[in-house]
Amino acid sequence: MDFEFRVDELHRFLEAKRGAMVEAAVSGLHDATDRLLADSRDMAPLDTGTLRMTAGKEVTVKGAQAYGEVFYSATEEGSSGVRFNYALRVHEMGPYKNPTTPGTRPKFLSQPLKTNKRLYTQFINDAVRRAMG
């Protein structure tokens, strides 16, 4: 009994689908970063709303790599007159003693990323699978 697998046909199939798969992966990365942005905004403190308003996301493609980023860019001026990264400070501080909004917490960006990593990866995997047909 013989078994034959035509690797050249597989290569042709993958080459024909390459563009669609890359586009799909980038689309899935957009979906994943959109979801992470929404999840993290729900956990971010809401005292004045500045922190949530400065949140954003960006997906970039450089060569064969696609990168998704969710960011918070709130800055404030300290008592010394020096500006500091308020978003980073609030993210890294210990537990809130009296949160202004229930459900908010420190680590508002890293916590949903850790908790939902599989879901965010699934967005990308599903998009690529759909592109492969």
Residue 6, both tokens: 């035509």
Task: Give the mean model confidence (pLDDT) for residues 77-99.
Answer: 76
Q: Measured over all CA atoms, what is the biggest interatomic distance in the chain, rounded to whole angstroms?
A: 81
pLDDT band at 125 (very low <50, low <70, confident <90, very high): very high
Mean pLDDT of the chain: 86
Task: State the pLDDT at residue 97.
Answer: 62
Which of 39, 34, 75 is CA-nearest to residue 58?
Answer: 34
Task: State the pLDDT at residue 99.
Answer: 63
Put simply, whether the predicted model's pTM sits higher than 0.85 gets the answer no
Every domain of the chain and the residues it spans:
7-132
Task: State the pLDDT at residue 63.
Answer: 82
pLDDT, tens only, 29-84: 999 999 999 999 998 887 777 788 889 999 999 987 899 999 988 877 778 888 87
Polymer length in residues for the chain = 133
Tell me the C-alpha distance between 22 and 81, whole Å: 47
Task: State the pLDDT at residue 18.
Answer: 82
Task: State the pLDDT at residue 91.
Answer: 81
Is a pLDDT exceeding 80 seen at residue 101? no
